[in-house]
């Protein structure tokens, strides 16, 4: 079987060799396998040092203090801890939350659960086709009893950037806690939680060339007492998340984030060129529309919908050549069209004829050139489109 070109980095990224080396070193008897909570011998103390070094690496990527980082099993748990942890303190008082229709399911499903508990949720409608959530919308949605705003920095399906800094200023002015899902933003854009006025931020390792099953939640020191613990059993992680720390995964996340910090801008320039090439080439194949903002985005994503009589043929052949997604990875087994694209105003037909390309460290221009060449050949064979000889 021919190996597909991997263009699904938004779903997950491969662990870098340098990162996997560090992970393996923490698994065997010859390495730092100890329990970080074991303080009576050097095995535990050595493991704890690595955990704290990794905590520092993750904190540095977002401009935080290491004491504000809480280890979790991933961004989904971080999102749950952020929303449920804050709202648990407001069961009998202020009960309004602001989010949007294009958030990750870890936010939307949690909000649905909170609605059943009596919380009022305002779901902001994104700008048609671009996915922008504007600060003015947030301003208009704020109520006297608003306790929390939860919005993602980079959308996981279309790559559109949200103006979190402006929204953070609004939240600060109204004394509202701001949570940001940054799982798809870390390592792609410069982040400074103080400049953005963010109180809570969810992070994931496997979107940044680290291992699956590990993530973190940034919790601003001033609000840590406002978070109600969701997992009990030992008081680990400043009492906010109990459980034996997985040293190997934590070290993997720390190393991945440390390396990501070193080449964010350079990699964005490289990927921007790849994205432009593919978008320009796809437009030559037939009728295609962009899902997401044409400028306010990260270069790692290109989400398009194909139209016309060629649409099914193009999509079918893309999937024979490249590993891509039709929606986010968490919904890939769901035949329903992407909730993000529907919220953008795309018809059900266009939402179902969408492809998300996502690029990463191992994506080369030769991969995209091969993809385009093969698509043109297939279209020529099918006599749908005539191409001028090159």
Q: Which residues are catalytic, by number?
A: 330
Contact between residue 219 and residue 19 where contact means Cβ atoms under 8 Å apart: no
Count other Cβ atoms within 10 Å, centred on residue 243: 15
387: closest CA among 375, 369, 319? 375
How far apart are the C-alpha atoms of 387 and 390, rounded to whole Å?
Answer: 8
In the chain, what is the straight-line distance between the N-terminal and C-terminal CA atoms, in Å?
Answer: 30
How far apart are the C-alpha atoms of 67 and 387, rounded to whole Å?
Answer: 59
How far apart are the C-alpha atoms of 180 and 164, rounded to whole Å?
Answer: 8
DSSP 325: B
DSSP 291: E
Three-class secondary structure of residue 135 per DSSP: helix
Cβ neighbours for 191, distance < 8 A, ≥ 6 positions apart? 61, 62, 63, 153, 182, 185, 201
How far apart are the C-alpha atoms of 164 and 169, rounded to whole Å?
Answer: 8
Task: Write the CA distances from 27 to 13, 71, 239, integer angstroms.
Answer: 22, 19, 26
Contact between residue 356 and residue 301 where contact means Cβ atoms under 8 Å apart: yes
Q: Identify the sign of the CA torsion 272, 276, 279, 282.
A: negative
Helices (H) and strands (E) in the chain, counts: 13, 12
DSSP track, 190-224: ---HHHHT-SEEEEESTTTTS-TT-EEEEE-GGGG
Cβ neighbours for 247, distance < 8 A, ≥ 6 positions apart? 26, 32, 33, 34, 35, 36, 47, 50, 51
Count other Cβ atoms within 10 Å, centred on residue 34: 18
């Amino acid at each position: 079987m021919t190996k597909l070109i991997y263009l699904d980095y938004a779903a997950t990224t491969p662990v870098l060799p340098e990162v996997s080396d560090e992970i393996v070193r923490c698994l065997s008897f010859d390495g730092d396998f100890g329990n970080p909570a074991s303080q009576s011998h050097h095995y535990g103390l050595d493991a704890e040092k690595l955990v704290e070094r990794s905590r520092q690496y993750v904190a540095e990527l977002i401009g935080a203090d290491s004491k504000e980082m809480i280890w979790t099993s991933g961004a989904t748990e971080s999102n749950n801890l952020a929303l449920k942890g804050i709202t648990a303190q407001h069961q009998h008082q202020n009960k309004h939350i602001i989010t949007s229709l294009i958030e990750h399911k870890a936010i939307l499903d949690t909000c649905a659960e909170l609605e059943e508990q009596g919380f009022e949720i305002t779901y902001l409608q994104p700008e048609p086709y671009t996915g922008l959530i504007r600060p003015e919308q947030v301003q208009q949605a704020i109520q006297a009893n608003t306790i929390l705003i939860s919005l993602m920095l980079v959308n996981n399906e279309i790559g559109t950037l949200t103006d979190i800094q402006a929204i953070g200023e609004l939240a600060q002015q109204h004394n509202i806690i701001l949570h940001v899902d940054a799982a798809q933003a870390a390592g792609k854009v410069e982040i400074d939680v103080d400049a953005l006025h963010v109180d809570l931020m969810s992070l994931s390792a496997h979107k940044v060339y680290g291992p699956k099953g590990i993530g973190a939640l940034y919790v601003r020191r001033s609000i840590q007492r406002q978070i109600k613990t969701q997992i009990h059993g030992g008081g680990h992680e400043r009492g906010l998340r109990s459980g034996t720390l997985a040293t190997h995964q934590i070290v993997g996340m720390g190393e991945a984030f440390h390396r990501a910090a070193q080449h964010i801008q350079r990699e964005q320039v490289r990927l921007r060129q790849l994205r432009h090439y593919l978008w320009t080439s796809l437009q030559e194949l037939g009728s295609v529309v962009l899902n997401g903002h044409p400028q306010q985005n990260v270069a790692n994503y290109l989400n398009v919908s194909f139209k016309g009589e060629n649409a099914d043929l193009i999509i079918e052949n893309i999937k024979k050549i490249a590993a891509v997604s039709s929606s986010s990875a968490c919904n890939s087994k769901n035949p329903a069209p992407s909730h993000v694209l529907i919220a953008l105003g795309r018809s059900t037909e266009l939402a179902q004829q969408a492809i998300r390309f996502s690029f990463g460290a191992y994506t080369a221009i030769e991969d995209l050139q091969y993809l385009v060449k093969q698509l043109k050949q297939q279209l020529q064979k099918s006599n749908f489109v005539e191409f001028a000889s090159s």
